[in-house]
Amino acid sequence: MSGRRGRISDDEINELISKLQALLPESSRRRNASRSSASKLLKETCSYIKSLHREVDDLSDRLSGLMSTMDSDSPQAEIIRSLLR
């Protein structure tokens, strides 16, 4: 595992990190300086991913509730079918 650091330069790592930073939501970006430490950025990324997971769970919950009220003749099913065609 040693010697890897030499092949992958610091610049590349910094570039990747700044790309990650660009992905994070706007609010956290404003709070950080443009050269925030890598570990802080990773922490932001972790919490962002966790919040996205929570949103997926919440949305699938709502979707399942909505779908249970749907039958195959309703316009929503028709929309789904038309989108899949």
Partner 1 sequence: MAAKRTAPPPPPPTPNPIPNRRALASGAGSASPSKRMLAFHFLRALSRISSATPVACRTRTIRRAAYFSMARAASPRRSWSRALLRQVRVRRAVRSRRAVLMRRRVVSAAPAPPLGVRSISAGQITSAPLAGAPPPRQAGEPARADALRRLVPGGGEMEYCSLLEETADYVRCLRAQVQLMQGLVDLFSGQ
Binding site for partner 1 (CB under 8 A): 1-2, 4-5, 8, 12-13, 16-17, 19-20, 23-24, 37-39, 42-43, 45-46, 48-50, 52-57, 59-64, 66-68, 70, 72, 75-85
Shortest Å distance, C-beta 30 to partner 1: 18
How distant is the alpha carbon of residue 21 from its chain centre? 12
Residue entry with tokens 């956290």: 28
Question: Of the two residues 17 and 32, which places its CB atom closer to partner 1 in the complex?
Answer: 17
For 33-52, b where at least 16 C-beta lie within 10 A, e where not — what string? eeebeeeebeebbeeeeeee
